[in-house]
Structure 1
Amino acid sequence: MKRPPLPSRCSTGIPGLDEILHGGLIRDRLYLLEGEPGAGKTTLALQYLLAGVAEGEKCLYVTLSETQDELVANAVSHGWTLDGIEFFELTSDQQVAGEDGGLTMFHPAEIELSETTRKVLEAVERTSPKRLVFDSLSELRLLAQDSLRYRRQILALKQYFHGRGCTVLLLDDRTAHGEDLQLQSIAHGVISMYHTAPAYGAALRQLKITKFRGSAFESGFQDIDIIRSGVQVYPRLVAADHGVEFERETVPSGVQRLDDLLGGGIERGTSTLLIGPAGSGKSTIALQYAAAAARRGGHAAMFMFEEGRNLLLSRARGLGIDVREGTGPGNIMIRQLDPGEVSPGHFISLVREAVERNGARVIVIDSLNGYLNAMPEERALMVQLHELLAFLNNCGVATFLVAAQTGMLGVTKATVDTSYLADAVVLLRMFEHAGAIKKAISVMKKRSGRHEESIRHIWFDGHGIHLSEPLMNLRGVLAGVPVEIEMPSTMPPAQRLPGG
């Protein structure tokens, strides 16, 4: 039996939304776009029509709520012109113009539902649009006065547009109590938009495909933003859908003793957690790996949730670490992020862009504590972080995660335990010795191969990062206050006391 042809699609004008719809909306169908006021429905609808204009299609915007001037002002705020879109306006303003192309003005609160519908259909007959936006259904619901009449009217609209070659987007602001399941059952597809205001920071905006007949789609909530260019949709990352073939080679740090500690270095396609108290050197080690990758002609990207870009560059200069900013081979891209302003989906899209478009092979996330603050709840952090690390591993990226612990000496505690997600865990500690505060480094875990079980002293100066020989003469370094133990006289002096 011959398979029927695949249905034709039309772009929504939003690449991320097209991606989760597996290619865009199916043409010649009726869709519901619902969301509370301020969710971004009008902006998304205008992008949908502008995409049609770009493809040479006739587009019609029927508005019962906003005036054309308000819609134009909205478009101007995004840097758009609405040339090529026809408007049919029914407002509570004044008069009726003739049917020869001018604006037609009615009083929706004072006329019958059937009269409103008739005038809308007349406008459709005149323009024969390929794409239509109806804004909004709340006025029709008020005119209908009861749910049965309202449902019949929507069904009549659906039947009218069937076979007319027009893809319709109906906007609804959820003024009905709860979700309008009757309306959702009539539409071929439902796009739901949400926005919530946290106690601090930008509103969290999300989108969900509730229903899409005749096609697979990406279910669940997707993060979105409304920016100068319009609605941006960040598809939820599914690591299994991404990956490339790569050679599992070692990524050296450029510091021989650090590489020795890690059994030769870090491998591509693995994630490394650098954990320790504030000031122990976690970010510096991550920076060293990024700089070493750039020196070898690779590209690295650093996402900074806490430390500022200028401070990072100043510290790099003080350590003699050469950092050349930019994208592409030999460069390090440094992106400073505000946890209160960036959504998790937006952050993941930035990481994907660095890897897929710019070819980054070393990624630094500094720190997980800042990343946690960008997440609505800890469980969501773990799920998203797991998918992100799996994606980066599948793409052959060496990922470095920085996590700060509370406390300085002795017992320290992680804000969030992510050690089970990482392939390698590098532990940094501070300890007291000979009247001074020193730093120690050790490797607690490395799934991809061997590593030293020793503890080394680590220090930083104008010549970079230095590690001592293993601290064989100290016991209790990780506790913060070690004691010296007597070593055989044949033990080299360098192994008796930490250097630096």
Structure 2
Amino acid sequence: MSKKVTIHPLKTGVQGLDDVLGGGIPEYSFNLISGNPGAGKTTLCHQIMFALATPERPALFFTAFGEPPLKMLRYQQQFTFFDSDKINESIHFINLSDEAATGDFDQVLARITQEIVAFSPALVFVDSFRSVLREAEHQPEDANNLQRFLQLLGLQLTGWQATTFLIGDFVSDSGSHQILTVADGLLSLEQSVERNSMVRKLQVIKMRGQATLPGKHAFRISSDGVNVFPATIVHKDPEDVGEASEALLSKKRVAMGVPRLDDMLGGGLPSGHSLLIAGPTGSGKTVLATAFLAEGARLGETGVIVAFEQTPGQSWIRTLDEMIQGRQIGLINVRALDLSVDEIVQRLTNLIKEMKATRVVIDSLSGFELAVAPTFREDFRESLFRMIAVLSGLGVTVLMTSELEDRYTDLRFSPYGAAFLTDAIIVQRYIEVESCLQRVMAVVKVRASSHSNEIRRFDITDKGMVIGDPVSDFEGILGGQPTRKKTTKSVE
């Protein structure tokens, strides 16, 4: 009596979905796939079916008042997961339209039972089951009992040890409460159009016996089918934070690729740090980011750049194209306007692991925000926190750029309130000297490390970024206040 029943999760074959489900679909479970028209319910179920079905574990796919099987297969075969060899061998399609049209649950149940006896399936799909229920609602109340039908169906399928998926719009339909209580698992899919972007989200509302990832997770439908991007959950224990702070003090330094900048940072950027480069248009943020990657390539360290803006083409440095072609730099070039931060994090994480990269550039946060669909911008700041935490966990050194309006008389670091999330900050800006604009930069912070607080001039030449001398006390930068040379130790 002390032994526990082991529930075996079935791998769905849908990238990212097993992580959200807590390991996969529980074997022999009774599941509902709910969503509005066009949300991707049928595509998701087909992808799961083709991934799991084998001659030893056959699948039955019942259709009711939805698309006829031939029409449905015509479109589903466009996906790469579609395998025509499995049709009529591992996968069988059955049309329930005649039985469903009667509204008689007994006839529907009898036909399903007949086919289950004939094929002994391990997987059963009914699309659209909600249409069967709606047809029955038009019949006299004493025609059949819905609750009785659902219980018999569940017992029938469980008795045959079949993992079942009923497809329809159950969540938004108030009349579906009876079937919601019977189900072991409930996945809700939704889609919305905001401006020029299509946003799709998936949520596991219910999954008995498994610890699922809470919240809504973005997903995309491509030629490969459904791809889910699980939202990253970040857990930080106070002890872990304390240990991390101790470790920062002993980190090795990463060369930036710009003469004098390493000295300003106290010997280079500590490995594994995240650095924010903030400044107005044309101040040299992307030039510095490119030098950072080029220095890594020179030292034999691979890198990755997520480019939301145009990349530089200066002749003074090996172009990014050359480094990309040489497999020294990996590129994620983003121009879509319907992304989620979680999608970018997944693509970035996969490329970092594939290339074993140690340096990452995100250029820029301003372009990043524009690429994110409007519905995801509401929690953009929280998403940045999760992204930085994920990259920190991978041990890579991250450089991010941020566009700032230069107001000349005040000092800001990020319009996203992201400055506190980063380990180091460099600010670039313009000053007016004798009726000419000059570029200057300063290191604002380097967590747990000494650094210079001098404000230094710099130029961008055909040989790259050249850092000059500190600005004199009499030139005045911030509202006419003089600056002084000294070294400070970060208190963070």
Report the TM-score, using the length of structure 2 for normalisation: 0.87
Contact kept? 1:34, 1:173, Cα under 8 Å: yes
Query: 1:178-189 maps to which residues of 2 (within 5 A)?
Result: 178=174, 180-189=176-185
The match for 1:440 is 440
Amino acid at match of 1:346: E
CA distance in 2, matches of 1:434, 1:56: 83
Contact kept? 1:440, 1:457, Cα under 8 Å: yes
The match for 1:232 is 227
Change (3 A) 1:176 1:428: closer
For structure 2, the 5+ residue unaligned runs are 486-492
Amino acid at match of 1:380: D
Amino acid at match of 1:194: E
Once the 2 structures are TM-superposed, how far is the Cα of residue 62 of structure 1 from its aligned partner? 0.5
The match for 2:251 is 248
Change (3 A) 1:459 1:286: same
SS of alignment partner, residue 48 of structure 1: helix
Once the 2 structures are TM-superposed, how far is the Cα of residue 425 of structure 1 from its aligned partner? 1.0
Once the 2 structures are TM-superposed, how far is the Cα of residue 191 of structure 1 from its aligned partner? 0.9
SS of alignment partner, residue 476 of structure 1: coil
The match for 1:349 is 346
The match for 2:214 is 219
Once the 2 structures are TM-superposed, how far is the Cα of residue 396 of structure 1 from its aligned partner? 1.4
SS of alignment partner, residue 194 of structure 2: coil
- 2:282 counterpart of 1:289: no
Contact kept? 1:192, 1:209, Cα under 8 Å: yes
SS of alignment partner, residue 218 of structure 1: coil
Change (3 A) 1:177 1:165: closer
- How big is each residue's C-alpha offset from its partner over 1:386-445, in whole Å with a ceiling of 9 and x where there is no partner? 111112112211111111012464457653221111111111111122332210000111
Contact kept? 2:286, 2:312, Cα under 8 Å: no
- How big is each residue's C-alpha offset from its partner over 1:468-499, in whole Å with a ceiling of 9 and x where there is no partner? 121234442245xx6999x9xxx9xxxxxxxx
Which of 86, 94, 110 is the aligned partner of 1:88?
A: 94
The match for 2:200 is 205
Contact kept? 2:58, 2:123, Cα under 8 Å: yes
The match for 1:369 is 366
SS of alignment partner, residue 23 of structure 2: coil
Contact kept? 1:428, 1:442, Cα under 8 Å: yes
The match for 1:301 is 304
- 2:178 counterpart of 1:163: no
Once the 2 structures are TM-superposed, how far is the Cα of residue 111 of structure 1 from its aligned partner? 5.2
Change (3 A) 1:183 1:327: farther
Contact kept? 1:405, 1:412, Cα under 8 Å: no
CA distance in 2, matches of 1:177, 1:354: 42
The match for 1:94 is none
CA distance in 1, matches of 2:167, 2:286: 48
- 2:399 counterpart of 1:400: yes
SS of alignment partner, residue 109 of structure 2: helix
Once the 2 structures are TM-superposed, how far is the Cα of residue 109 of structure 1 from its aligned partner? 2.6
Once the 2 structures are TM-superposed, how far is the Cα of residue 70 of structure 1 from its aligned partner? 2.0
Report the TM-score, using the length of structure 1 for normalisation: 0.85
CA distance in 2, matches of 1:382, 1:327: 34
Once the 2 structures are TM-superposed, how far is the Cα of residue 273 of structure 1 from its aligned partner? 0.8
The match for 1:263 is 266
- How big is each residue's C-alpha offset from its partner over 1:3-42, in whole Å with a ceiling of 9 and x where there is no partner? 4253122111113111222221111111111111111010
Amino acid at match of 1:112: D
Amino acid at match of 1:89: N
SS of alignment partner, residue 437 of structure 1: strand
CA distance in 2, matches of 1:179, 1:468: 73
- How big is each residue's C-alpha offset from its partner over 1:261-310, in whole Å with a ceiling of 9 and x where there is no partner? 11111112211111111111111111111111121111111111122xxx
Amino acid at match of 1:326: I
The match for 1:389 is 388
- 2:145 counterpart of 1:149: yes
Query: 1:168-179 maps to which residues of 2 (within 5 A)?
Result: 168-174=164-170, 177-178=173-174
Q: Which moved more, 1:356-365 or 1:423-432?
A: 356-365
Change (3 A) 1:426 1:180: farther
Contact kept? 2:35, 2:188, Cα under 8 Å: yes
The match for 2:104 is 112
Amino acid at match of 2:27: R
Amino acid at match of 1:66: E
Once the 2 structures are TM-superposed, how far is the Cα of residue 115 of structure 1 from its aligned partner? 1.3
* Alignment length (residue pairs): 462
SS of alignment partner, residue 219 of structure 1: coil
The match for 1:454 is 454
- 2:63 counterpart of 1:68: no
CA distance in 1, matches of 2:47, 2:133: 25
Once the 2 structures are TM-superposed, how far is the Cα of residue 233 of structure 1 from its aligned partner? 0.8
- 2:123 counterpart of 1:124: no
CA distance in 2, matches of 1:461, 1:150: 77
CA distance in 1, matches of 2:406, 2:445: 22
Amino acid at match of 1:232: N
Change (3 A) 1:6 1:483: closer
CA distance in 1, matches of 2:131, 2:192: 25
Amino acid at match of 1:88: I
CA distance in 2, matches of 1:240, 1:355: 22
Contact kept? 2:313, 2:319, Cα under 8 Å: no
Change (3 A) 1:182 1:107: closer
Contact kept? 2:35, 2:171, Cα under 8 Å: no
The match for 1:97 is none
Contact kept? 1:262, 1:451, Cα under 8 Å: yes
CA distance in 1, matches of 2:234, 2:54: 33
CA distance in 2, matches of 1:54, 1:345: 33
Identity, % of aligned positions: 24
Once the 2 structures are TM-superposed, how far is the Cα of residue 354 of structure 1 from its aligned partner? 2.2
Change (3 A) 1:132 1:377: closer
Contact kept? 1:280, 1:428, Cα under 8 Å: yes
SS of alignment partner, residue 272 of structure 2: coil
CA distance in 2, matches of 1:266, 1:176: 52
Contact kept? 2:258, 2:288, Cα under 8 Å: no
SS of alignment partner, residue 467 of structure 2: strand
CA distance in 1, matches of 2:174, 2:402: 42
For structure 1, the 5+ residue unaligned runs are 92-105, 492-500
